[in-house]
């Protein structure tokens, strides 16, 4: 029977944990940088400075700025994709399914307000080159399917589902994307504070549901 070197195993486990922690710190810093500058203007020196590592360390984990950007995008959106697939919306009537999806989307956006800015900059700077197509397939596809079910049952008025899906996402996300401009509408208040987030969530859901219901 082979002898297990517990000390060596523990050291290897700790190294793996430290490596994962460093990788996550780099992705956190990259997310903050890309949300402001986009891919084109982002500086690896700025990301390194935020994490207290060298540029060489970043390139140890990610071979290029583009690879870091893509890894950041994937991590940002994986939670949203997972939630959309776990909601079991097919089991709900169309109106209840749409309300549940909207509430989940808005919660995800409030927990990660960088996503809107990152996706806007991706569209403007990169013309969607790195846009994760699976996000569109799942998010917009889910909304379209709910709208089509609602129109078929008579719960929703007749709509063009693709345009309506785009408008729904825009209604939910613009608040987060344009928060630095919108803050002047609520002087002295935090747009990402609990009170205004709850208000935005409810107003968005009410507006969308009033627009689609028959």
Q: Give the pLDDT confidence of 108-156 residue by residue, as tens digits.
A: 889 888 888 898 999 999 998 988 777 777 889 999 999 999 999 999 9
Q: What is the pLDDT of residues 125-137, one digit of tens each?
A: 999 898 877 777 7
Q: pTM for this structure?
A: 0.81
* Contact criterion met (CB below 8 Å) for 182 and 191: yes
Please, what is the Cα angle at 208 between 182 and 143, to 5 degrees? Answer: 110
CA gap 164, 178 in Å, rounded? 21
Structure tokens belonging to residue 142: 């889910």
For residue 5, which phi and psi values (nearest 5 degrees)?
-85, 95
**Predicted confidence (pLDDT) at residue 48 exceeds the cutoff of 80:** yes
3-state class of 156 per DSSP? strand
pLDDT recorded at residue 35: 92
Q: Residue 106: its pLDDT value, please?
A: 92
Ordered domains of the chain (ranges, CATH): 6-212 (1.10.357.10)
Give pLDDT tens digits for 163-177: 999 999 999 999 998
CA of residue 40 relative to chain centroid, distance: 20
Distance between CA 38 and CA 14 in Å, rounded?
34
pLDDT tens for 52-99 read 999 999 999 999 999 999 999 888 776 666 676 788 899 999 999 999
Mean pLDDT of all residues in 191-206:
95
CA 211 to centroid of chain Cα atoms: 25
């Amino acid at each position: 029977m082979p002898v297990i070197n517990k000390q060596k195993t523990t050291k290897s486990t700790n190294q793996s944990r430290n490596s994962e922690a460093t990788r996550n710190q780099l992705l956190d810093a990259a997310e903050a940088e890309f949300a402001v500058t986009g891919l084109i203007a982002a500086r690896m020196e700025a990301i390194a400075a935020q994490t207290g590592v060298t540029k060489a360390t970043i390139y140890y984990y990610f071979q290029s700025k583009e690879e870091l950007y893509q890894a950041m995008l994937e991590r940002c959106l994986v939670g949203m994709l997972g939630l959309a697939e776990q909601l079991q919306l097919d089991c709900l009537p169309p109106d209840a399914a749409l309300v549940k999806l909207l509430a989940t989307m808005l919660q995800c956006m409030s927990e990660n307000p960088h996503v809107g800015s990152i996706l806007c900059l991706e569209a403007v700077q990169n013309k969607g080159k790195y846009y994760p197509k699976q996000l569109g397939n799942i998010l917009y596809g889910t909304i379209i399917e709910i709208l089509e079910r609602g129109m078929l049952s008579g719960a929703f008025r007749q709509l063009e589902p693709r345009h309506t899906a785009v408008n729904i996402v825009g209604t939910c996300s613009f608040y987060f994307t344009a928060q630095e401009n919108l803050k002047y509408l609520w002087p002295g208040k935090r747009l990402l504070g609990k009170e205004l987030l709850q208000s935005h969530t409810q107003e968005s859901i009410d507006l969308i549901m009033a627009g689609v219901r028959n």
